[in-house]
A and B are shown apart, each in its own frame.
Chain A
């Protein structure tokens, strides 16, 4: 019996290693440029990270090659899983460097991007973040760029929206130790207190990673009876907070950040998701550019092929844009060298699906517009665009 199990395990191991190679060793041409995909596919952010990977993979099927000095190079994606964990992120980043990638895309989740930033800078490999919104990702790192807007902007947008809609008091719920959640929460608190006067934020509560019970936190908030709750959180946590809040009889609007634009939230929170408000990068009903129109049609099919719902998550669109940006930078650099690509990224201008992308001196995309959405009849509904100077 034990022998059978042992041999079975060996076979499984072999299969696993074969499967591991399957993704990598496809192309046979001489000219290959490796692009690292640094995303969480497992762990807390595995779900959203995978959707971003899908956007990148799809972009790779649309633009599989790049011209460098008149020669055609095949772009080979090297995917690593940072497991939504800051320690794993460093190891994953080191693996990408040792694989010899020229440039990296990712990651979903700001914490892991910040953790891996130094590794990329030391390895002189530029990285282009797709949806990591915390300022610290690019600040002080010459090799990190990003194609999305930032948390200070997003926090201000949401605070503005809340005030405009008559909110006088707010409660904020954030995740302890998560750079995205606590960062965005802090910027919201700043903006809301500035706009509504000191003390407008009546309660700031924190919860732990993988926590599933929010009733105590929500009971505290209910006692203070705020006009609005701001709870930037991951897509695993958000439906729990929303459902438990409604169950406890909290009826005020609940708002979140860009992560919330995800079909799983509606699926899991069901009828309780009605009326939640969030800001995001992209709206599939209103393609901003020609690239967007063709992306929306093609990517929906791709999502269905991959067994996902045919609602395009904003992070997939950003993943696609990050890939386009990297592609253009490689073309302009005319080289597979990391430093050359970095220099090209500084001045690159691309029209992607989330709008025009160019970088400021810190490496952040010049974006000043956010889409505010809500949920109505089980679907995301575009409310308005907000820009802040």
Chain B
């Protein structure tokens, strides 16, 4: 394998990993706080793609991007308000089923509203510029993705460790009944969590779809599923874990394909999930749960 090919594969793997990491953070944050696997997260990612298509059709990118960002965040909060909030005290299984329901609802809504035919994602100026470095060619977005992911992760960790909202989030994730007693408005904290998760899903969708160009109602299914695995791999509930998990999956998949085993690239992802759950259910960065007596 020549060095250009190696470099090209590395670039692909890291960029894919970056996009996975952004989505995985959304899963991990919601899980950390609500102990809920938000299966609708992948579909919010897909909806953000559709919003962008329609926004870019009628307005310039510097208006479209903030507008779609707000719309996606609102969608995330709306899903929480309608489908999860009424079930706050219900058994965890009910919320999970509700999440699966929302996921199917969004997919079928998209099929109904936008048809199942794929739609082209608009080109955002600058991002899609193709660069040639020797024999390696990549668009700007491919190179930006991993850096942006890492920067956002640090920002998010700072938010959680050094702001009041972050402190409230940490408290709620420990024990939300007690934090409620301490005067934390848990509904507001949970909404904020969903807002941040959806915001990251939007940025993920911007990067992912700019690089992969078409959106269809099932666009979110496979990335969603893989990012869930990434979150579990890193230790669900842990943000650095989700990012590392995302990169491991993205790079691992690319390496397998590069070695000529394209058939097994997905098998790899899900084999990791099984192995992880068997031998280290708390993931790479997860906290060990000690039973309190």
What is the interface of chain A, defined by CB distance below 8 A to chain B?
2, 5, 41-47, 49-50, 176, 205-213, 215-217, 219-220, 222-223, 235-236, 239-240, 243-244, 247-249, 264, 267-268, 270
Contacts and interface: CB of A to CB of B under 8 A. Distances in A.
A216 B212 contact: no
A121 B258 CA distance: 44
Contacts of B253: 216
A217 B116 contact: no
Given A50-B117, A219-B9, A239-B118, 13 more contacts: A46-B116, A206-B263, A213-B12, A215-B12, A219-B258, A220-B5, A222-B5, A223-B2, A236-B116, A247-B138, A248-B8, A249-B137, A264-B118
Interface string B123-148: 00000001010010111000000000
A210 B221 contact: yes
A268 B118 contact: yes
Contacts of B120: 239, 267-268, 270
Contacts of A248: 8, 137
B262 A217 contact: yes
A205 B221 contact: no
Given A47-B116, A220-B258, A235-B117, A42 B216 contact: no
Contacts of B287: none
A135 B8 CA distance: 39
Size category, B interface? 35 or more
B98 interface: no
Contact of B214 (A176, A205, A208, A240): A240
20 contacts: A43-B116, A44-B218, A47-B116, A208-B222, A210-B222, A211-B222, A212-B212, A213-B16, A213-B211, A215-B16, A216-B253, A216-B262, A217-B257, A220-B257, A220-B260, A235-B118, A236-B216, A239-B213, A240-B213, A268-B213
A216 B254 contact: yes
A213 B18 CA distance: 13
A236 B137 contact: no
Given A219-B9, A268-B214, A212 B262 contact: no
B187 interface: no
Nearest to A264: B117
Contacts of B213: 239-240, 243-244, 268
B13 interface: yes
A212 B254 CA distance: 13
Contact of A208 (B1, B130, B266): B266
B115 interface: yes
B173 interface: no
Contacts of A213: 12, 16, 211-212
Contact of A212 (B119, B223, B263, B266): B223
